[in-house]
Amino acid sequence: MIQGRVVILFFLFSLFYGCSSISRSKKNLVVSEHKDVQKWIDYFTQKDKERFERFINRGQYYRDATIAVLRNYNLPDELFYLPLIESGYVLRAKSHAGAVGPWQFIAPTAKRYGLKINYYVDERRDPILSATAAAKYLRSLFQVFQSWELALAAYNCGERRVLSAIMRGKTRNFWELSRKKLLPYETRNYVPKLMAAIEVARNLADYQIKLKKTDPIPVLVKHDFPGGVKLKDISKETNIPVRLLMRYNPTLYRGMTALERKFKGLFLPVDYSQDITLVAQKLGKQRRRLASFSARKHHRVKRGESLYFISRKYNLRVNYLKKLNGLFHSKIFPGQKINITAGVRRFHYKVKKGDSLTKIARLYRKSRRWIKRKNALASNRIYVGQVLKI
């Protein structure tokens, strides 16, 4: 308990000390000649050369935009290579610990630095928004530790682990803490791995690694848009392929705009010529019409209507309507009541403090395995505020 208090006091003292050093955040990230760095240089340029080349070429698409963010926060350009070792610049990357996106944020840290996460949107997947959050976090870590080695170590394993290691090792030298094995094994490799990536990237020709010419990420403009609209419908109206809409909007991992009255965050290229307001109005009307349909529980058949007509109206399959209503044929008559509810009702549960996956499964009479599969969960871990599909 006493040691815990000392760690907290040390952290507060370091934070206070670091606040006076904002202007010095861009202290050069010096690549050490330590043997561990050389080990990883050899690995990247020999054993794992093909994958390293693939990662660095994938990152070129985001390079200019990412470095612009880093410079805006007065940080070294070399931090551009951090996502290269974190995720290989794969926007949809997800670790076994639940870290997501190119900068591999876990949910609590992401929310602390302003990233939005819910059932429809995960801003950890956005290369610019996540880079901005990472820049804020890295800047604060450097202000505390006044060392890029320690700041990067803290980015990997957490501030408390590094502070505890410093107190136990009685040194602020990362390499000494690493030698004494006071930091986790992954962290002891994390810093030299990044330094090796930087060194190799500076000398690609020497290591015979080819850098392909790649157009940078285009300038994107954020638009307000109706909620609950599918990207494939936006694609039909704008003639922008779905794959490009997904590339411009990687946060929309459900393939639709967030289910909000007005979604503030659809990104399109700055040179997009069509009037997006007209597209939004048209798709918004369609969405409201579908929403009014989904609120209904049944449909009263009118003269001249067929089961096929009703299925098209409510975006349901004929066979599904027949099964739902116990029909063995497609014959219906005026005045007949046709159930339509089950095809459009969905249940969501927002995780509260004290909840567990077992508790929620019992509440809805489902198995944990079923809920995990429905929500693509890699483990039983859930967090407060998370929205689960039931």
95: left (phi over 0), alpha (psi -120 to 50) or beta: beta
Closest residue by Cα to residue 36 from 191, 155, 207, 169: 191
Residues 59, 36: Cα–Cα separation, whole Å: 24
- The number of beta carbons lying within 10 Å of the beta carbon of residue 294 is 15
Residues 295, 344: Cα–Cα separation, whole Å: 9
Residues present in the chain in total: 390
Active site residues: 86
Q: Which amino acid is at 307?
A: L
The secondary element (H helix, E strand) that includes residue 36 is helix 35-42
SS3 131: helix
SS3 386: coil
**Which residues are CB-contacts of 114 (< 8 A; sequence separation ≥ 6)?**
132, 133, 136
33, 36, 245 from 39: Cα distances, Å: 10, 5, 41
SS3 199: helix
> Sign of the CA dihedral 9, 14, 17, 20?
negative
Closest residue by Cα to residue 75 from 124, 114, 133, 33: 133
**Which residues are CB-contacts of 12 (< 8 A; sequence separation ≥ 6)?**
none
Strands (E) in the chain, as ranges, are 220-226, 262-269, 298-300, 337-339, 348-350, 387-389
The secondary element (H helix, E strand) that includes residue 262 is strand 262-269
Residues 56, 83: Cα–Cα separation, whole Å: 10
56, 175, 246, 385 from 92: Cα distances, Å: 17, 33, 11, 21
DSSP 344-380: T---EEE--TT--HHHHHHHTT--HHHHHHHTT-SSS
Residue 164 structure tokens: 């505890």
